[in-house]
């Protein structure tokens, strides 16, 4: 067994690989190098669909017995943005006033560093534990997520690989470590709507068909009607209009087309199919009323899911509370994560660093928090295998 992995130095090494999605630039090799030294068998997988970038992914495993505890995360990061606005090199991994700075430190290279450091200490102290530990690491979380965890999960299904529980190291806390553990996520459906009318002179509206009128009516009804009141584990589903567009350069011309895009973040009271049906019904109503034509495209990036607070979830919550002295809330708020794919093969929770600077200039994580997170992960591992 090699010497213990230090979570800070490991994370610094990872940050220095500028793996802006979808580029890897050696980030996955850093993970593989350290896991192989710990005795993990590493399976690198590359996936690419037509018109997309090739993505490098990793499934690594130590041991063959059950139960299998998996840690999941991603090495890709969002762009640094205006580098001149940073107080340090975004890929320099500098420590300043008790914080480690760098693009991806909180989302989520720091999480990877903490759980690999925790595993290295566990294996040093528990060489003959009964079970196995695995890592599912992708390079395609911040982008379209087509060739990443989704494909790895499909591979694991075919191989009949069993994962008994998974911890996703996403930054789950907003301002203090221990505030929140995520046990589910809302689903997401985006609708691209185009209403087709008939172009004409604004002085002769009866000889034209203005698409602006029906699209406004459609959006008004969709936005004004509450989808639900939420439930025990989820906030109410919510619709937000993100784009309204009429391409018209003249002020005296009724346009031929009007377009809009809107997204619904929905809870477990709905499905992609039920919302698609609901939206289509409203569109058809106004299509018939105004005798216009419509074109609709639906995109789903994840379905709503919930990991029920079973004994394992409650144990983890108890460990976090004890270590952080925070009232750790079980939550389902936020956007999407790769947990939306992993939940198809294993119950999973999300717990990681504080994320209030993720995707921002001067992204940073507290050194104290990183050491505490490593300690929490270590206690979770010990509890799981006991």
C-alpha dist (Å) from residue 130 to 64, 69, 160, 179, 254? 9, 11, 20, 32, 72
Mean pLDDT to the nearest integer, 230-242: 96
Q: What is the DSSP letter of 128?
A: T
Rg of the chain taking only CA atoms, in angstroms:
24
C-alpha dist (Å) from residue 223 to 161, 227, 240, 242, 342? 43, 9, 7, 12, 32
pLDDT of 2 reads 58
Q: What is the DSSP letter of 354?
A: B
Q: List all residues 6 or more positions away from 141 whose beta carbon is below 8 Å from its beta carbon.
A: 21, 74, 76, 148, 149, 337, 338
Fold of 187-302: Alpha-Beta Plaits (3.30.70)
pLDDT digits (tens, 9 = 90+) for 2-36: 579 999 999 999 999 999 999 999 999 999 999 99
* Contact present, 384 and 22 (Cβ < 8 Å): no
Is residue 56 over pLDDT 80?
yes
Q: List all residues 6 or more positions away from 9 whose beta carbon is below 8 Å from its beta carbon.
A: none
pLDDT of 336 reads 86
Q: Which is the CATH superfamily of the domain at 7-185+304-385?
A: Zn peptidases (3.40.630.10)
User: Tokens 């294993």 — which residue?
Assistant: 346
Is residue 242 over pLDDT 80?
yes
The helix (H) or strand (E) run that includes residue 215 is helix 212-224
The two structure tokens encoding residue 103: 């693009």
Q: Residue 266: name the closest of 276, 253, 258, 251 by CA.
A: 276
Mean pLDDT to the nearest integer, 257-265: 98
Mean pLDDT to the nearest integer, 209-235: 97
Is residue 357 over pLDDT 70?
yes
Is residue 332 over pLDDT 70?
yes
What are 56's strand-pairing partners? 46
Is residue 1 very low, low, confident or very high in pLDDT (cuts 50, 70, 90)?
very low
Mean pLDDT to the nearest integer, 189-217: 97
pLDDT digits (tens, 9 = 90+) for 121-160: 999 999 889 999 999 999 999 988 999 999 999 999 999 9
pLDDT of 335 reads 83
CA 77 to chain centre: 12
pLDDT of 194 reads 98
pTM recorded for the entire structure: 0.90
What are the residue ranges spanned by the domains of the chain?
A: 7-185+304-385, 187-302
Is residue 310 over pLDDT 80?
yes
Active-site annotation, residues: 76, 141
What mean pLDDT is reported for the chain?
96
Distance from C-alpha of 204 to C-alpha of 101, rounded to nearest angstrom:
62
Distance from C-alpha of 341 to C-alpha of 315, rounded to nearest angstrom:
24
The 3-state DSSP class for residue 201 equals: strand
pLDDT digits (tens, 9 = 90+) for 39-53: 999 999 999 999 889
């Amino acid at each position: 067994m090699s010497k213990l992995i230090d979570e800070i130095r490991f994370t610094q090494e990872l940050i220095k690989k500028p793996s802006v999605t979808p580029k890897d630039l050696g980030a996955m090799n850093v993970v593989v190098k350290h896991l192989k030294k710990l005795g993990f068998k590493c399976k690198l997988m590359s996936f690419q669909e037509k018109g997309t970038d090739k993505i490098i992914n990793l499934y690594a495993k130590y041991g063959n017995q059950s139960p299998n505890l998996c840690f999941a995360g991603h090495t890709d990061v969002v762009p640094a943005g205006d580098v001149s606005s940073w107080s340090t090199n975004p890929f320099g991994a500098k420590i300043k006033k008790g914080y480690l700075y760098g693009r991806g430190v909180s989302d989520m290279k720091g999480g990877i560093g903490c759980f690999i450091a925790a595993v290295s200490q566990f294996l040093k102290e528990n060489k003959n534990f009964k079970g196995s530990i695995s890592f599912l690491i992708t390079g395609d979380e911040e982008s379209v997520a087509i060739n990443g965890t989704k494909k790895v999960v499909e591979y694991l299904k075919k191989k009949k690989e069993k994962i008994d529980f998974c911890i996703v190291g996403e930054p789950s806390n907003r301002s203090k470590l221990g505030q929140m553990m995520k046990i589910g996520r809302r689903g997401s459906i985006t609708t691209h709507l185009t209403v087709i009318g008939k172009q004409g002179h604004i002085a002769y509206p009866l000889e034209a068909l203005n698409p602006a009128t029906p699209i406004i009516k459609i959006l008004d009804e969709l936005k004004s009607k509450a989808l639900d009141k939420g439930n025990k584990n989820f906030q109410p589903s919510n619709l937000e209009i993100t784009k309204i567009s009429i391409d018209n350069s003249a002020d005296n011309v009724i346009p031929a087309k009007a377009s809009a895009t809107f997204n619904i973040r929905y809870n477990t009271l709905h499905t992609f199919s039920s919302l698609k049906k609901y939206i289509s019904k409203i569109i058809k109503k106004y299509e018939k009323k105004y005798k216009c034509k419509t074109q609709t495209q639906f995109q789903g990036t994840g379905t709503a899911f919930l990991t029920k607070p079973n004994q394992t979830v409650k144990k983890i919550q108890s460990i976090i509370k004890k270590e952080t002295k925070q009232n750790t809330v079980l939550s389902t708020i936020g956007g999407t994560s790769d947990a939306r794919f992993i939940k198809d093969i294993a119950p999973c929770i999300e717990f990681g660093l504080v994320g209030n600077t993720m995707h921002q200039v001067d992204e940073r994580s507290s050194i104290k928090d990183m050491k505490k997170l490593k300690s929490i992960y270590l206690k979770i591992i010990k509890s799981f295998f006991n």
